[in-house]
């Protein structure tokens, strides 16, 4: 039982969970990031008559960190969010954090936070696939589940809960554009479930040991972050865009290779030239499951098990770290 001064802090960043549509019957055409976190929290707290016993001794606080559609998420907002997380996590009476976020780039934000925050306290992201005023909005239950998870979880790192499914930041990806359970963790599978106000962990899940690459205080201003892009191998892949990116000053490239990181001869040759010109190159696979297994045919480093977008985050932070060391 927690002391009655312990609290869960809910940080709002916008997204569909805060979105509004023209009518309660419209679930797909809406404007994201319209309702404040206090409004969302009020609805979630009153969502059901019976309050979970695990939450009965907690107080709740909230802060509107940002208000945007997650397709427009940027480095400046990431830095600010990480700073506010660090601020609240340092408070002795804060047991955990919940972050509301849009679904489109949630996996990138979750992975980023896992790489810059070192804490035993839970950091739980949640979201929605339907706007706040939809007749069957999924946001209130997701937010309620996230608060329950934050109150009962320790040493889990950064995770996501949505549609009753718990996913770890290391593995989670958005895999469907419209369904309520839009996230998946590939071969690893989900970490657990929230059902009837109970958190159930799957015995098959082993939480990965993640170590922060940087401290929040080491993050430079967003304008000083390196420029890193993602390119993909596909049938008749051209190398012209790589040449244009190098000429324009790109500092890092992630290639989403086919299969086990393969790429066309043209693409490979262009990336080799980019690397010789000083561009950092990382390899990932465009496959939704599995990871690149290095062989003698691979000439670029692979970031084991990470999707292309998370490989980009990893490369960004590696390059930021290198900048800080000089």
pLDDT at res. 44: 92
Residue with tokens 């209130």: 140
Using CA atoms, how far apart are residues 321 and 214, in angstroms rounded to an integer? 7
CA atoms within 13 A on the CB side of 158: 26
pLDDT at res. 102: 98
Residues 162 and 256 in one domain: no
Residues 29 and 177 in one domain: yes
Residues 31 and 180 in one domain: yes
What residues are annotated to the active site?
A: 16
Residues 167 and 310 in one domain: no
What is the pTM assigned to this prediction?
0.95
- Which residues, 6+ apart, have CB-to-CB distance to 278 below 8 Å? none
Query: What does the longest C-alpha to C-alpha distance in the chain come to?
Result: 63
Question: What CATH number should be reported for the domain holding residue 187?
Answer: 3.40.50.1170
Residues 189 and 240 in one domain: no
Q: Which among 201, 217, 248 is the end of a domain?
A: 201
pLDDT at res. 1: 43
Q: Which domain holds residue 109?
A: 7-201
**291 assigned to some structural domain:** yes
Residue in 219, 247, 242, 243 with CA at minimum distance from that of residue 230: 242
**210 assigned to some structural domain:** no
Report which secondary-structure segment, H or E, holds 40: helix 37-45
**1 assigned to some structural domain:** no
| Model pLDDT for residues 228-270, shown as the tens digit of each residue | 999 999 999 999 999 999 999 999 999 999 999 999 999 999 9
pLDDT at res. 47: 56
- Helix 106-116 vs helix 75-89: crossing angle, to nearest 10: 50
pLDDT at res. 49: 59
Residues 44 and 149 in one domain: yes
Residues 60 and 158 in one domain: yes
CA atoms within 13 A on the CB side of 284: 24
Residue with tokens 């098990």: 305
Question: What CATH number should be reported for the domain holding residue 296?
Answer: 3.40.50.40
Strand spans (E) along 15-157 = 20-21, 30-31, 59-68, 94-100, 123-126
Residues 12 and 127 in one domain: yes
Residue with tokens 């490239």: 253
Residues 155 and 53 in one domain: yes
Q: How far is CA 184 from CA 51, 87, 112, 324, in A?
A: 28, 30, 18, 35
Residues 309 and 253 in one domain: yes
Q: Please tell me the total count of domains within the chain.
A: 2
Q: Which among 157, 184, 201 is the end of a domain?
A: 201
The parts of the chain modelled with pLDDT lower than 50 are 1
């Amino acid at each position: 039982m927690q002391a009655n001064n312990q609290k869960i802090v809910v940080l709002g960043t916008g997204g569909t969970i805060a979105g509004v549509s023209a009518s309660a019957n419209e679930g797909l055409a809406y404007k994201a990031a319209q309702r404040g976190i206090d409004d969302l929290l009020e609805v979630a707290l009153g969502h059901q008559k019976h309050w979970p016993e695990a939450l009965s001794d907690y107080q709740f606080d909230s802060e509107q960190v940002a208000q945007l559609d997650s397709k427009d998420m940027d480095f400046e907002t990431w830095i600010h969010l990480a700073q506010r997380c660090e601020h609240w996590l340092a408070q002795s009476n804060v047991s955990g954090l919940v972050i509301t976020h849009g679904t489109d780039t949630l996996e990138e934000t979750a992975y980023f936070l896992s790489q810059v925050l070192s804490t035993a306290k839970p950091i739980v992201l949640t979201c929605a696939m339907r706007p706040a005023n939809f007749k069957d909005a999924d946001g209130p239950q997701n937010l309620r589940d996230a608060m329950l998870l934050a109150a009962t979880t320790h040493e889990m790192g950064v995770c996501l809960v949505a549609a009753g499914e718990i996913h770890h930041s290391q593995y989670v990806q958005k895999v469907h554009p419209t369904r309520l359970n839009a996230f998946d963790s590939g071969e690893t599978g989900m970490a657990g479930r929230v059902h009837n106000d109970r958190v159930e962990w799957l015995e098959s899940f082993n939480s990965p040991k993640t170590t922060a690459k940087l401290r929040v205080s080491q993050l430079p201003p967003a304008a000083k972050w390196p420029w890193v892009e993602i390119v993909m191998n596909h049938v008749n892949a051209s190398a012209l865009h790589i040449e244009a990116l190098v000429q324009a000053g790109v500092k890092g490239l992630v290639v989403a290779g086919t299969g086990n990181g393969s790429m066309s001869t043209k693409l490979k040759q262009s990336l080799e030239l980019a690397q010789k010109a000083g561009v950092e190159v990382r390899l990932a696979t465009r496959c939704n499951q599995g990871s690149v297994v290095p062989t003698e045919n691979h000439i670029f480093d692979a970031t084991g098990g990470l999707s292309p977008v998370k490989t980009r985050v990893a490369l960004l932070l590696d390059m930021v770290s290198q900048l800080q060391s000089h």
